[in-house]
């Protein structure tokens, strides 16, 4: 264990407030997002509405927050004109109101202090907290240079603080949504098609004839319009093929479920290519016109027969052939979905390359029912002086990964642990909107880094685990109480959405834009924050875009015509891809030149030893990561996770339904809390499964504390992606304990 001056403080000094809910969760969600038009109208009569976009996850659905005469928010409902949601929020978005009404919220700034030898927090004014932070910004800059102050962030607060950090001179910025999430797929697709997948994914699911999901569990992964479109595709008779060691919700909607042996997907992908090429089922015209390296690919996949893949994946050769033919029959209206959380086994960029190549063989990229050419509108930059040039930044620190395109949280962690050989030591962190304790693998390493910091400030809305390690905690108000940047994301056509405060910030909380400006003003960067209120920035930007704040307050979302050309390729159209060759690269010279495999190769990954099971995890449909577990409405719907165990395993270990068990991983790490057993055929016998995000260990989270187990605490082993630095998380194995391993250590 790490002993520390920066001991985790359970914020015990702050009394636990009573829990009063302003509306029953059941009522709130029973009166469902799918309100009919009449009901919406009725609501509009009694209540006033404010435009916002959801922050419960990063699909960013535009919504209306309805408030009553007393200024209480009553409901959050999707905006009908929004292409991210089509007027319907997912259950988490509807329950987003709970982020606002949660009584456990952070209420006022806190400063770490020692009273009678005990570390604790004391409440502070914003003046005092901001002065202290400003002092530290100045001190770190003088002692080490601004680059030594890192920003770790996720979501909307991040962009405001990123502006502050860049103005200050630090580009040491990273977020877990890259190296623990999407990074490898952006690298794999970037190398193949010369384009990131991005968010929302440009998958034309609504018009697809065949959707192949490789571990992508849409339906539990509740990304709104993807779920809607998948449901439409099913109604329209599309073939759904799901490759997942678990019988996921998506698998239950599929005509073909391939229960693959974990960690063997590349073998399946290669043999699918083999079948398409050997049986001449691939899209010849498309490949000839748009791709390079076909001959090399053909020779490469020749040995990878379905019989070969069967021995590795446990998927029968007939199934592999049959599904390959189905994909080809529907092509180019076939999507092999890139997935999203793809940091699995360390060869993830290469697996994503294989997925991209398969789409290329089928002609899916740029064709209806496959992938569309996405477009977004750029938001005019509010004027400010140029940023200073940092001497080093995220790119220089730690291991070098040639295809890394964003900061890597794990490398920031490592560069913070004192080491004489490190030319780029990091000394202070600001963390905003990310609960690194439950988000990063190798928790001991994260704690070691935190322990070494000279200063840590955390900006959050809730007393999450990470706040307990801070020197200063700043309470941000929730998305329903603040302005934020204009949402502009890629889609079939460009659109923008605004976030306007529906109510005043509760308690003594403040928005991140204000926090950034206050710190900026204090450290002599006032020129970068040339406004009194963020409203002015948005208004200026909207005017430049030919609309206005007044108009956007009324409509919430504005849709624009495409200007970049059609959504799909026209017959025989010339097209230049963003790769070095201008073509879809089946063979990557870039990879070959750097000594990597130019075409994906299957490598064996360790399988669980006797008595151990692979720790598999995924999304709870009712929750987002660890952030919503304490939400009063959502915790009502799903308060704890369970451990999915195959009946065969239950029999061997004599496990019963709902029996509490503890987990011990390959490194001897124990789960802090028990988790109840769910015996189900839906998981293979070699793995166990749990929803991510549970098992909170901060008592201040009164609803979430001790509920279920945390997958994150058991992920002590990672396999790093050599191309972009992603941390493969799915190579951890656990044994199941039926006796409380903590019973003799409890105080
Ligand atoms: N073990 C494991 N690790 C994972 C994953 C996994 O499945 N398992 N998934 C990975 C993936 S795909 C991703 S994208 C990342 C996600 O990583 P994170 O985004 O870090 O996930 P959360 O645990 O939800 O932490 C969000 C934090 O932001 C706070 N917050 C919420 N809203 C606001 C706000 O408006 N303002 C501020 N200032 N704070 C706010 C929450 O209270 C919480 O502390 O995790 C990755 N890590
Ligand atoms: N409700 C909800 N929805 C969310 C989120 C949320 O927190 N809550 N988070 C959003 C975010 S940021 C992300 S990144 C996405 C993540 O969602 P996705 O990208 O869809 O899924 P993953 O988390 O990668 O994968 C989970 C699935 O992979 C399967 N799996 C495990 N190992 C293997 C294997 O070796 N091979 C194969 N083929 N499958 C395997 C698991 O059984 C599980 O069904 O979800 C998004 N949507
Ligand atoms: S998908 Fe759900 S949680 Fe995510 S932004 Fe949309 S409504 Fe909010
Ligand atoms: Mo993610």
Say whether both 689 and 732 belong to one domain: yes
Find out whether the beta carbon of 627 lies less than 6 Å from any atom of ligand 1.
yes
Q: Which residues pair with 719 in a beta bridge?
A: 728
Separation of alpha carbons 515 and 527, rounded Å? 15
Of 151, 183, 220, 435, the one to substitute when testing ligand 1's pocket (max ligand atoms within 8 A of C-beta) is: 435
Q: Let me know whether 247 and 302 are in one domain.
A: yes
62 and 203, same domain (yes or no)? no
The structural domain count of the chain equals 4
* pLDDT in the model for residue 747: 52
Predicted local distance difference test score (pLDDT) of residue 21: 28
**List of residues 6+ apart from 551 with CB closer than 8 A:** 542, 558
Task: Give me the pLDDT at residue 4, please.
Answer: 53
Q: Is residue 580 part of a domain?
A: no
pLDDT of residue 368: 98
CATH code of the domain covering residue 60: 3.30.200.210
Residues 252 and 366 in one domain: yes
Q: Going by C-beta distance under 8 Å and a sequence separation of 6 or more, which residues neighbour residue 51?
A: 62, 63, 64, 79, 497, 498, 499, 500, 552, 553, 555, 556, 557
- For atom 40 of ligand 2, the residue with the nearest CA is 215
Pull the structure tokens for residue 179: 């190296």
Rounded CA-CA distance 249/197 in Å is: 24
In a domain, 259, yes or no: yes
Clarify whether residues 545 and 589 are in a common domain.
no
Domain presence at residue 562: yes
Q: Are residues 201 and 349 in the same domain?
A: yes
Of the bound ligands, which one is closest to the alpha carbon of residue 177? Answer: 1
* CB atoms closer than 10 angstroms to residue 572: 7
Both 119 and 37 in one domain: the answer is: yes
Residue 390 belongs to a domain? no
Probe residue for ligand 2, chosen from 221, 613, 617, 726 as the CB with the greatest number of ligand atoms within 8 Å: 221
| CATH number of the structural domain spanning residue 240 | 3.40.228.10
Structure tokens at 72: 């209480």
Beta bridge pairs of residue 52: 63
414 SS3 class: helix
Torsion of CA 285, 289, 294, 298, to 10 degrees: 0
Residues 229 and 316 in one domain: yes
Angle CA 712–718–721, to nearest 5: 125
Q: Which pLDDT score is estimated for 44?
A: 57
Q: What is the dihedral of CA 258, 259, 263, 268, to 10 degrees?
A: -20
Task: Average pLDDT across each block of 10 residues of the chain; the chain has 747 residues. List them in order.
Answer: 54 32 32 50 76 98 95 95 97 97 98 92 98 98 98 97 98 98 98 97 98 97 97 97 97 97 98 98 98 98 98 98 98 98 98 98 98 97 98 96 97 97 97 98 98 98 98 98 97 98 97 98 98 98 98 98 97 96 98 98 97 98 97 96 98 98 98 98 96 97 97 98 98 98 80
pTM for this prediction: 0.94
Measured in Å, residue 681 CA sits from the centre of ligand 3 at 30
Q: Are 81 and 555 in contact (CB under 8 A)?
A: yes
Question: What are 689's two structure tokens?
Answer: 């499964």
Residues near ligand 3 (Cβ within 6 A): 54, 56-57, 59-61, 85, 89-90, 92-93, 222-224
pLDDT at 41: 60
For residue 28, tell me if it sits in a domain.
yes
For residue 603, tell me if it sits in a domain.
Answer: no
| Residue (of 602, 686, 687, 703) closest to 643 by Cα position | 687
Pocket test for ligand 2, best of 244, 249, 354 (most atoms within 8 A of CB): 244
DSSP 645: E
Q: Please report the atom of ligand 2 found closest to the CA of residue 620.
A: 1
Ligand number, closest to the Cα atom of 61: 3
Residues near ion ligand 4 (CB < 5 Å) are: 181, 341
CATH of the domain at 138: 3.40.50.740
**Nearest atom within ligand 1 for CA of residue 624:** 24
**Do 236 and 355 reside in the same domain of the chain?**
yes
Give the CA diameter of the chain: 78
> In this structure, are residues 398 and 425 in contact, taking their beta carbons and an 8 Å threshold?
no
- Is the same domain home to 221 and 369? yes
Question: Is the domain of 189 the same as that of 162?
Answer: no
Q: In which domain, by residue range, is 168 found? A: 1-42+108-175+407-473+516-524
- Write the residue with the smallest CA distance to atom 41 of ligand 2: 215
Which residue matches tokens 């996921």?
248
**Domain membership flag for residue 379:** no
Cα 106 to ligand 4 centroid, rounded to whole Å: 25
Q: Which ligand 1 atom is the nearest neighbour of the CA of 626?
A: 23
Residue 744 lies in a domain: no
DSSP state of 181: I
Asked if 353 and 265 sit in the same domain, the reply is: yes
d(CA 623, ligand 4 centre) in Å = 13
Residue ranges lining ligand 2, Cβ < 6 Å: 57, 181, 214-217, 221-223, 243-246, 248, 260, 262-263, 265, 339-342, 344, 616, 618-619, 621, 623-625, 730
Q: In ligand 2, which atom is closest to the CA atom of 218?
A: 20
């Amino acid at each position: 264990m790490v002993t520390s001056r920066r001991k985790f403080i359970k914020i015990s000094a702050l009394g636990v407030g009573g829990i009063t809910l302003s509306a029953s969760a059941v009522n709130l969600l029973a009166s469902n997002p799918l309100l009919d038009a009449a009901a919406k109208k009725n609501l509009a009569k009694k209540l006033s509405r404010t435009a916002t976009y959801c922050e419960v996850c990063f699909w960013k659905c535009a919504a209306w927050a309805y408030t009553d005469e007393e200024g209480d928010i009553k409901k959050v409902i999707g905006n009908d004109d929004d292409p991210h949601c089509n007027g319907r929020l997912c259950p988490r978005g509807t329950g987003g109101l709970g982020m606002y009404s949660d009584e456990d919220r952070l209420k006022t700034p806190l400063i770490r202090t020692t009273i009678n030898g005990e570390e604790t927090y004391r409440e502070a004014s914003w003046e005092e907290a901001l002065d202290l932070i400003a002092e530290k910004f100045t001190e770190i800059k003088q002692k080490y240079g601004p680059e030594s102050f890192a920003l770790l962030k996720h979501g909307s607060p991040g962009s405001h603080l990123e502006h502050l950090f860049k103005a200050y001179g630090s580009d040491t910025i990273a977020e877990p949504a890259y190296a623990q999430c999407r990074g490898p797929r952006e690298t794999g697709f970037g190398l193949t098609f010369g384009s990131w997948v991005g968010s929302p994914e440009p998958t034309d699911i609504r018009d697809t004839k065949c959707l192949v999901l490789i571990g992508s569990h849409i339906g539990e992964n509740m990304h709104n319009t993807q779920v809607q479109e998948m449901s439409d595709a099913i109604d329209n008779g599309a073939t759904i093929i799901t490759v997942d060691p678990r019988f996921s919700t998506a698998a239950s909607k599929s005509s073909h479920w391939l229960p693959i042996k974990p960690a063997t997907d590349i073998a399946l992908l290669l043999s699918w290519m083999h079948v398409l090429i050997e049986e001449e089922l691939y899209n010849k015209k498309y490949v000839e016109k748009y791709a390079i390296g076909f001959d090399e690919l053909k020779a490469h996949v020749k040995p990878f027969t379905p019989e070969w893949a069967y021995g590795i994946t446990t998927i029968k050769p007939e199934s592999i052939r049959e599904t390959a033919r189905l994909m080809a029959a529907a092509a180019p209206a076939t999507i092999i979905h890139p997935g999203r959380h793809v940091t699995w086994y360390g060869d993830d960029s290469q697996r994503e390359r294989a997925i991209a190549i398969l789409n290329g063989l089928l002609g899916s990229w740029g064709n209806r029912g496959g992938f569309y050419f996405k477009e977004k509108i750029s938001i005019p930059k509010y004027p400010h002086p140029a940023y200073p040039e940092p001497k080093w930044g995220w790119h220089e620190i730690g291991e070098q990964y040639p295809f890394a395109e964003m900061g890597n949280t794990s490398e920031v962690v490592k560069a913070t642990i004192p080491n004489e050989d490190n030319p780029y030591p990091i000394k202070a962190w600001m963390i905003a909107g990310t609960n690194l304790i439950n988000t990063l693998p190798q928790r001991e390493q994260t704690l070691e880094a935190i322990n070494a910091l000279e200063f840590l400030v955390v900006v959050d809305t809730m007393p999450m685990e990470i706040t307990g390690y801070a020197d200063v905690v700043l309470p941000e108000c929730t998305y329903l109480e603040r302005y934020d940047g204009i949402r502009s994301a890629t889609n079939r056509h460009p659109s923008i959405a605004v976030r306007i405060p529906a109510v005043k910030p509760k308690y003594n909380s403040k928005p991140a834009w204000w926090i950034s400006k206050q710190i900026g003003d204090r450290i002599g960067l006032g020129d970068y924050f040339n406004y009194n209120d963020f409203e002015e920035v948005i208004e200026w930007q909207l005017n430049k875009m030919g609309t206005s704040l007044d108009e956007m307050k009324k409509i919430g979302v504005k849709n624009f015509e495409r200007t970049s050309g059609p959504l799909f390729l026209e017959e025989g159209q010339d097209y230049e891809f963003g790769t070095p060759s201008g073509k879809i690269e089946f063979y990557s010279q870039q990879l070959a030149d750097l000594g990597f495999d130019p075409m994906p190769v299957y490598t064996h990954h360790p399988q669980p030893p006797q008595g151990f099971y692979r720790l598999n995890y995924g999304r709870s449909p009712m929750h987002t990561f660890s952030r919503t577990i304490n939400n009063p409405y959502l915790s009502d719907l799903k308060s704890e996770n369970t451990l999915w165990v195959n009946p065969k395993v239950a029999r061997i270990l004599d496990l019963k339904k709902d029996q509490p068990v503890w987990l011990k991983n390959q490194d001897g790490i124990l789960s802090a809390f028990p988790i109840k057993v769910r015996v189900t055929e839906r998981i293979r016998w070699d793995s166990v499964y749990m929803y991510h995000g549970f098992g909170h260990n901060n008592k201040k989270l009164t609803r979430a504390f001790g509920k279920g187990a945390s997958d994150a605490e058991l992920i002590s082993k990672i396999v790093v992606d050599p191309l972009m630095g992603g941390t493969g998380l799915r190579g951890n194995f656990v044994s199941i304990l039926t006796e409380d391993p903590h019973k003799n250590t409890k105080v």
